[in-house]
Amino acid sequence: MMQILLPIHILAGTIALLSAIMAILSEKGKKLHALSGRTYFWSMVVIFLTATAMSIITSNIFLFLIGFFSFYLAFAGMRFARNRKGIATTSDWIAVGLMILSGVGMWILAAIIFMNKNPMAIPLLVFGFAAIFLGYGDLKSHKNKTAIGKERIARHLTSMIGGTIAVTTAVLVVNVKIEPVWIWWVLPTVLIVPLIIWWRIKVMK
């Protein structure tokens, strides 16, 4: 089963990364941008489904939490792109609740493996913070119905590029075999988050 799932997972990751780059570079609001975004989203769906299956087969809770974290960002980005009225649906509420819970789960897992002196506790802390921070921000947006106009676009960009960070991280971790491994888990976040902040400020202005 793993021999079937892993190639599908890798292919979906490659397509997701390429389509994300295309979406970032293409003119916003045009057909190419929309097509790239849809391709990216459905690739992330495949990534999530295969990651979930592989995490169950291998009893890997780390893979499951990271997989859901990545999928939520793509899901939220898609929803902010389509939902112009800022009114959350049941699926939005469920997804953001699970996102926050996944962040708490990452922190708990980080504490457990930290006691075993496992350095992977570091990326778990980083992603756990990101999951709770982004999830809480989306939760407030749903509650106050503020995801309209510029705020909606800013949240769309934040979520989509956040998901792109996750895909880029996966590519680096799989292909770069340099110690310590945890650095490659957090490096894309450190490098790209400032770009997200700059882009968000630009959009809000």
Residue 91: give the domain boundaries: 2-204
pLDDT of residue 170 exceeding 90? no
How far is the first Cα of the chain from the last one, in angstroms, to the nearest whole number? 50
Structure tokens at 171: 């590519």
Q: Which residue has the tokens 């916003």?
A: 28
Q: Which distant-in-sequence residues (6+ apart) come within 8 Å of 97 by Cβ?
A: 135, 139
Residue with tokens 């680096």: 172
C-alpha 97/C-alpha 91 separation (Å) is: 10
Q: Is the pLDDT of residue 29 over 80?
A: no
Contact between 51 and 67 (Cβ < 8 Å): yes
Measured CA angle at 129 (ends 123, 131), to 5 deg: 100
Instruction: Report residue 3's pLDDT band, with 50, 70 and 90 as the boundaries.
Output: confident
- Say if residue 148's pLDDT is above 80: yes
pLDDT of residue 70 exceeding 80, the answer is yes
- With contact defined as beta carbons under 8 Å apart, do 102 and 65 qualify? yes
| pLDDT greater than 80 at residue 114 | yes
5-42 as b/e, with b when 16 or more CB fall inside 10 Å?
beeebeebbebbbebbebbbebeeeeeebeebbebbbb
Structure tokens at 68: 């859901």
Q: Which residue has the higher pLDDT, 1 or 134?
A: 134
Query: At residue 19, does pLDDT exceed 80?
Result: yes
- pLDDT the model gives residue 76: 95
Q: Which amino acid is at 69?
A: F
Q: How many domains does the chain have?
A: 1
Of the ranges 55-59, 100-104, 171-175, the best mean pLDDT one: 100-104
